[in-house]
Amino acid sequence: ADFVKVAHPDFAFREAAEEACRNIGTMVEKLNTDVELCQSLRRLLADETVMSSLDPETRRVAELFMFDFEISGIHLDEEKRKKAVDLNVRILDLCNEFLIGTHIPNKIDKHVLPEHIRYNFTAEGNYLQVAGLHADCPDDLVREAAYKIFLHSNSQQLARLEELLASRNSLAQLVGYDTFAHRALQGTMAKNPETVGQFLEKLSEQLSKRTQKDFEMMTKMKMKLNPHNSMLMPWDHPYYSGVLRAERYNIDPGLYCPFFSLGACMEGLNSLFSQLLGISLYAEQTKRGEVWSEDVRKLAVVHETEGLLGYIYCDFFQRPDKPHQDCHFTVRGGRLKENGEYQLPVVVLMLSLPNSARGAPTLLSPGMMENLFHEMGHAMHSMLGRTRYQHVTGTRCATDFAEVPSILMEYFANDYRVVNQFARHYKTGQPLPKNMVSRLCESKKVCAAADMQLQVFYAVLDQIYHGKHPLKKSTTEILKETQEKVYGLPYVHNTAWQLRFSHLVGYGAKYYSYLMSRAVASMVWKQCFAQNPFNRAMGERYRREMLAHGGAKEPMLMVQGMLQKSPSVEDFVEALVSDLDHDFETFIMDS
């Protein structure tokens, strides 16, 4: 239902799925506040004899269920329990309303804008609609106008955000946590907000000099292109970092696309999985009515000795009403059935690839190719999870661990030895030259410190919003203060970026997860695969220590099993920062 409500072409299906999601959500909330069920579980957890006879996974799942019960306020008296249920329902509604609000365009009287830039925006009578930041537009004035209009504060959205943060805090305190962040981080790699704070602070310290250098380079470039107005502003960062990348490394996606046909990329993934894990992907015919759109492909995932492991439905192409987001959905989780058979996982991978011209294959830009590898990392996590319970299958694990397998795949996608196995010009069959791959990889490091600093700023903001309440200042004042302190580019009067921060819904108090997952993926890559990306023994260790457990094992234990040591916050920071260093060999080659 979660998948159908966003991706089905038929509105009636989407609406029915939305309703199903609500009903299931309500039912789960009811179960999480079922006192008899909870007491039964509590008796089990208190019985040492029974507990010691259970396998570690069953014990962990029992503890996770208990955690869900407690989060719903089951241990409270009836009045407080009812309050917890009401808060949960209210939070769900606020999340949906806030999410819708993050995407709604802003309107402005067209006469406010100079005539020569109006055509960049959609006209509606006397008004212009601004539906995004126009971050790639070469005209500084268009980006500035889009930034100030799209991010203009909105009192309704502000009220929703404030009520959402206050409700989350009330619920967390009602069920016994200091803050919502303490509640959200239970069971994660970081474990608590203190560790997250330390991680972000140390990372920010390590990045600060590099970020300053990046901002100086962008300012010089702005001076060159716009000498009248050369102060670097927040709407400049994405544009000028792109200009610098292009100027320094001439990365024209058009030069790369012919080497990355979708067929070649899928072959590359097949070959990589076969060498690393003994797994092959086979296209299967679908039955009538099995898929929601005729361009969806079904892949069977087959192991050389274990046989069929599961199915991946590939919904790769753009179509009207399909959201432009790349994501992975679990349709059916793996679990051990009562009869001893294993229920095979089924997932959907959704991308937004352009439909190919007649007769020509679908060609991917380097970014699309990397996204395909990323999403396939999630799919393999689902396919190779062999947990006893569906509750902890595949990607149903701690948020800050969930992105490790997908980000690790990006490292493979950026390694010449891997790319060289599949990147062939679709017309001539010629391989992608090595220096083109090196240039592409190096170009990604241009302004990468500033890009990472921006992510640190978002993560810090998220931690403050979900930290101690009542908040000392308004969410906008906190934004201004944090932006100037952590990010470094000036806050723009009358804007409220936080009202477009849609990740506050799904990643409340956990926005740091992406950075921490990247740090772990970087360590796994350097230690286990950088020497030989096709190392079968390492592939097997990766499957055994990390992919097989889903959320059935503590995330830090999985990381320890893979790296054979317990990484510190400093190790995480060092891994992220060392990725920013330019590769000397490429540098010389290009010079």
Q: Residue 187: helix, strand or coil by DSSP?
A: coil
CA distance 433 to 441: 13
Alpha-carbon 526 to chain mean position? 22
Which helix (H) or strand (E) is 281 found in, with range?
strand 279-284
Question: Does the annotation mark 163 as catalytic?
Answer: no
CA distance 259 to 365: 9
CB of 186 closer than 8 Å to CB of 489: no
Tokens 């249920």: give the residue: 85
CA distance 198 to 182: 15
State the Rg of the chain over Cα: 25
Task: State the Cα angle at 551 between 547 and 555, rounded to 5°.
Answer: 80
CB of 560 closer than 8 Å to CB of 566: yes
Q: Residue 42: helix, strand or coil by DSSP?
A: helix
CB of 499 closer than 8 Å to CB of 157: yes
Q: Residue 131: helix, strand or coil by DSSP?
A: coil
Q: How far apart are the first and last CA of the chain?
A: 53
Q: How is residue 312 annotated by DSSP?
A: E
CA distance 443 to 582: 9
Q: Residue 555: helix, strand or coil by DSSP?
A: helix
CA distance 44 to 50: 7
Select from 554, 62, 552, 562 the least CA-distant residue to 333: 552
Q: Which of 57, 144, 370, 375 is catalytic?
A: 375
CA distance 435 to 438: 5
Task: State the Cα angle at 255 between 142 and 590, rounded to 5°.
Answer: 95
Enzyme catalytic residues: 375
